[in-house]
Amino acid sequence: MGNIKSANSLTADWAKLFPEIMANGGFDCVVWNPPYVRQESIKELKPALKEIYSVFTGTADLFVYFYELAQNILKTNGMNGFICSNKFFRAKYGQNLREMILSKTTIKSIVDFKAVVSSSSLFSIDNQKSYLLDTSWFIDKGDKFLLACLNSKVVWYYLKFITSTLGNASLRLKKIFMEKLPIPNIPKEEQKPFITLVDTIIESKEKIVKFNKHFDNLNAVDKIEIKEEIEKLETLVLNSVNEIDSLVYELYGLNGDEIKIVDDAR
C-alpha cells in the first residue's frame, strides 16, 4: 500500500511522493484518464498552474496540464497513454500543448473516436479494433440488429431497473447486468429492417462528421448549404431512431399503454 498516495497530482512534489522512483529517472509508463474540468471551475488553481506548467493558458481546461505532468514524471523513452478530449487539437488554448507534444515526445498512435464516444451511455459498433475498460461496451462483430436493440428505448428502460448507478446517475453497465438482457433471437430475414435503419444512421453520422470537419473553412454561401444538409441528415437520424424504437416495441409485444410508460421515462 506504500505506493498509493493522496495528493493534488498537478501541484504535488512527485520527488517527495515517490523518491526512489523519481531518483531512478521516473516512471516507465503513465496511463491517464484525467478529469474533464472547464477552466471556469479552476480559477483558484490557475496561479499555481501558471508557475508550474509551460503549457498554461488562461482558458485551458484542466486535462491539459496532465500531459505536461506525465512528461515530467516519465523516464526517458517512457510510455504515456491518455484517454481525453481532442479539443486541444484545434483550440487556441491547446497551442502550447501541441508544441510541447511535437517537440518533446514521439507520437506512437492516436485513436480519435469522434462521434463514437458520447457524454451519455451508448452502444456502438467498433471498426477500429479498440480496447476499453469494462464499463465501455463495443460490438466488434458487426451485429447491427443487436446494436439496434441495445440502443432502443425499451432496453434502456429495462437497464435502469437492473443496473447499479454511478454518482452522476449514469448506469454502470457491468457484465453481470448485460448478460441478463433478453435480446430476441429472430431469423436473419426479419432482422433486415433493423439493419437497414442502423446503416442509415451510421452513414448519416459519418457524413455529418465530415461536413463539420471542414465547416469552418467554407465561405458563407457554402456554410448555409452545408448547414442545411447537416440538418437534413440529423432529421434522418432522428426518424431512423424512432423507427427502430417502433420495431423494437413490436418485437417485444408492447401495447399502447406500455409504450407510453417507456416513452415518458426516457
Q: Is the per-residue pLDDT at 243 higher than 80?
A: yes
Closest CA to 248 of 153, 167, 181, 170: 153
Q: Is the per-residue pLDDT at 115 higher than 60?
A: no
Q: Kindly state the average pLDDT of the residues 26-37.
A: 86
In angstroms, the first-to-last Cα distance of the chain is 44
Quick check: helix, strand or coil at residue 183?
coil
pLDDT attached to residue 110: 77
Closest CA to 10 of 95, 166, 132, 37: 37
For residues 241 and 263, what is the distance between their CA atoms, to the nearest angstrom? 13
Q: Is the per-residue pLDDT at 51 higher than 50?
A: yes
The answer to whether 36 and 85 have CB atoms below 8 angstroms apart is yes
What are phi and psi for residue 65, nearest 5 degrees? Answer: -70, -25
pLDDT (tens digit per residue) in 128-149: 655 554 455 556 567 899 989 9
Poorest-confidence range of 112-126, 137-151, 211-225?
Answer: 112-126
For residues 56 and 67, what is the distance between their CA atoms, to the nearest angstrom? 11
Q: Is the per-residue pLDDT at 113 higher than 80?
A: no
What are phi and psi for residue 133, nearest 5 degrees? Answer: -70, 170
Count Cβ atoms within 10 A of the Cβ of residue 235 and give its class: 0-12 exposed, 13-18 middle, 19 or more buried: exposed
Quick check: helix, strand or coil at residue 31?
strand
Q: Kindly state the average pLDDT of the residues 102-128.
A: 68
Q: Which residue has the higher pLDDT, 175 or 42?
A: 42
Q: Kindly state the average pLDDT of the residues 217-236.
A: 89
Cell numbers linked to 154: 425499451
Closest CA to 66 of 82, 90, 46, 47: 82
Q: Kindly state the average pLDDT of the residues 218-229.
A: 87
Q: Kindly state the average pLDDT of the residues 196-213.
A: 91
The answer to whether 71 and 100 have CB atoms below 8 angstroms apart is yes
Report residue 2's pLDDT band, with 50, 70 and 90 as the boundaries. low
Q: Which residue has the higher pLDDT, 103 or 33?
A: 103
For residues 226 and 25, what is the distance between their CA atoms, to the nearest angstrom? 52
Report residue 173's pLDDT band, with 50, 70 and 90 as the boundaries. confident
Cell numbers linked to 43: 480559477
